[in-house]
Amino acid sequence: MAAVKGLLLRLSALDADAATAVRVIAHFEALLGGGLDPVSLTRSTAGLAGCAAGLELPDGRVARFGSAGTALPGVPGHVSGRVELEPAGRVWLERAGAPGPFDELVLEWMAIAARVLAGRPRRTRLPSAADPALVELVLSGREDASDRARAVRLLGLDPEAPLRVAAVAGGPATDAGVEAVALLGRVSLPGTVRVARVGSVAAVLVQHSGGSPAGCADGDVPGRGVSPAAELRVALGERLRDRGPVRRTAHAIRVGVGGGAGPLDARVSWAQARSALRFAVAGTPEEAVADHDELGPVALLADIPVERLRAQADVRRLNGLECGERDGRPGRGSDLLDALAAFCRTGSLRQAATELHLHHSSVAARLARVEQELGWRLRDPQDRFRAQLALHALRLADDSECRGGGDGYGDGGAADGTG
């Protein structure tokens, strides 16, 4: 028990990357609350980033400053990163070398502030970095209820109100904690939000004010706290529409959302979030954010051993379609599976084409190829259901030879330290 008590005293052991990310956001929050203007925004951003920064608003106003606060004339130098504004304008950084580790986050929040200057309403809320030791304690199933309750209070959460836990994973070259903070900066989730990196993923605790009674088992009480999945899909969609490094890292983000639970049973929501994350596929927001409640009975597939999933005939054929080369066209299999997944989810050729940003004839050709290779008739509801189950099983099987390896979450609790 002494070790458990010691965890509660490690309030200074904040995740360094997540804490720095929150300080970046706090910088812009202060600007937004203090009479923002283009000059102060650009000068302050240049000082924060330690390099020249520039701003061009849709109405034509332009500002450009060096890191020392000196106005810079002329055209920008080497632009190391930028975010476009809509319907016109942009913000940018001019760093001589490679972009800094937090340049992406600085640009995102500079763009948010610029949109306020352009008259667009702000709908962001500051997420808070939390002590990873406290978060791990709340998510653990091994510690006493009294220790978990104290950790909940130290995190600023209500011990009586239900919460949900989300698991956020980024690409191999990104930090999950920073990606989670950047994603949450795009959405206004009501209530209290806490973020900490736990193993290779980020844990996000979301507690709405009010809601259903705490301690309810998943599925017992409808509406026991609204899932943030829809808002997270909107936020991810916004990031995917940006240009430059913001968009590149957004393409690797995956999110799993757990069901509602009482704070003392947060481990249940955390387990569901990690299970849902296994169903998430980086790409479109609809595929990249998986909600355990939306999965329903399909979530039971996660209980099947990976070896059995890989051995199933439909899964083996889909895996061969993804990994193999057809007619001398490498990589074609991934396009086929993307079209199959979109069609199975929407049930509409045109909706699938819209989601994939393709012409419907291109999607139709890819689906015809899937039918030819696997012998399915995708207009048949039974075959379509069979295909969707096989897709889910293929994702859970996570064939590392074709997908480039896992991300550390697929081994249960080993990666996160919570068991």
- Please compute the mean of the pLDDT values over residues 25-47 and round it to a whole number: 83
Q: How much is the pLDDT for 390?
A: 93
Which residue from 137, 142, 113, 128 is spatially nearest to 30, judged by alpha carbons? Answer: 113
**pLDDT for the residue numbered 10:** 37
Q: How far are the Cα atoms of 93, 131, 136, 163, 194 from residue 157, in angstroms, in the given order?
A: 37, 13, 14, 9, 9
- 331's tokens: 């990589």
**pLDDT category, 325, cuts 50, 70, 90?**
very low
Q: What is the 3-state secondary structure (H, E, C) of 342-384?
A: HHHHHCCHHHHHHHHCCCHHHHHHHHHHHHHHHCCCCCCHHHH
- Tokens at residue 4, please? 């458990």
Report the predicted TM-score, pTM, of the whole model to 2 decimal places.
0.70
Residue 9 has pLDDT above 60, yes or no: no
Closest to 245 measured CA to CA, from 96, 93, 115, 128:
93
Query: What pLDDT shows up at residue 211?
Result: 46
CA-to-CA dists, residue 355 to 86, 161, 241, 327, 387, angstroms? 21, 36, 13, 27, 19
How many Cβ atoms from other residues are within 10 Å of residue 174's Cβ? 18
| Greatest mean pLDDT range, 118-132, 213-227, 345-359 | 345-359
Provide the pLDDT for residue 289: 94
Query: In the predicted model, what is the mean pLDDT of residues 79-96?
Result: 88
**pLDDT recorded at residue 70:** 92
pLDDT for residue 406: 38
Which of helix, strand or coil describes residue 43?
A: helix
Across residues 25-33, what is the average pLDDT? Answer: 77
Taking CA 77 as the corner, what is the angle to CA 75 and CA 82, rounded to the nearest 5 degrees? Answer: 95
Amino acid at 239: R
The pLDDT score that the predictor gives to residue 240 is: 79
- Quote the mean pLDDT of the chain: 79
Of 65, 56, 96, give the one whose Cα is nearest residue 80. 96
B/e letters for 123-156, b = 16+ CB within 10 Å, e = fewer, are ebbebbbbbbbbbbbbbbeebeeebbebbbeebe
Q: What angle do CA 60, 65, 70 make, to 5 degrees?
A: 130
What pLDDT is recorded for position 248?
63
Is pLDDT at 29 greater than 70 in this prediction? yes
Residue 391, pLDDT > 50, answer yes
Beta-strand ranges (E) seen in 125-169 are 128-129, 164-169
Cα–Cα distance, 289 to 277 (Å, whole number): 8
Q: Is the pLDDT of residue 149 over 90?
A: yes
Higher pLDDT, 174 or 80: 80
Q: CA 393, 394, 400, 404: dihedral to nearest 10 degrees? A: -130
Residue tagged 């895996």 (tokens): 319
Per-residue pLDDT for 164 more than 90?
yes
Sign of the Cα torsion 224, 230, 236, 239 reads: negative
Lowest mean pLDDT among 33-37, 147-151, 334-338, 382-386: 33-37
Could you tell me where the beta strands, DSSP code E, fall in 209-336? 254-257, 289-291
pLDDT digits (tens, 9 = 90+) for 236-285: 887 777 655 555 677 788 999 999 999 999 999 999 999 999 999 888 88
Residue 39 has pLDDT above 50, yes or no: yes
Residue 263 DSSP symbol: G
Whether the per-residue pLDDT at 139 is higher than 70: the answer is: yes
Q: Is the pLDDT of residue 37 over 50?
A: yes
Do residues 276 and 256 touch, judged by C-beta distance below 8 A?
yes
How far is Cα 296 from Cα 274, in angstroms, rounded to an integer? 15
- Return the percentage of the chain with pLDDT > 90, whole number: 37
**Contact yes or no for 387/381 (Cβ under 8 A):** no
Phi first, then psi: give them for residue 18, nearest 5 degrees: -65, -40
- Return d(Cα 257, Cα 199) in angstroms, integer: 17
Q: Is the pLDDT of residue 351 over 50?
A: yes
pLDDT of residue 3: 37
Predicted local distance difference test score (pLDDT) of residue 92:
94
Structural tokens at position 158: 């209500």
pLDDT of residue 399: 43
Token pair in block for residue 79? 């632009």
What are the tokens at 35? Answer: 């009479």
Phi, psi of 192 (to 5 degrees): -110, 135
Residue 84: other Cβ atoms inside 10 A: 17
pLDDT of 327-347, one tens digit each?
Answer: 444 335 678 888 999 899 888
* Overall average pLDDT of the 120-143 stretch: 76
- Averaged pLDDT for residues 354-383: 90
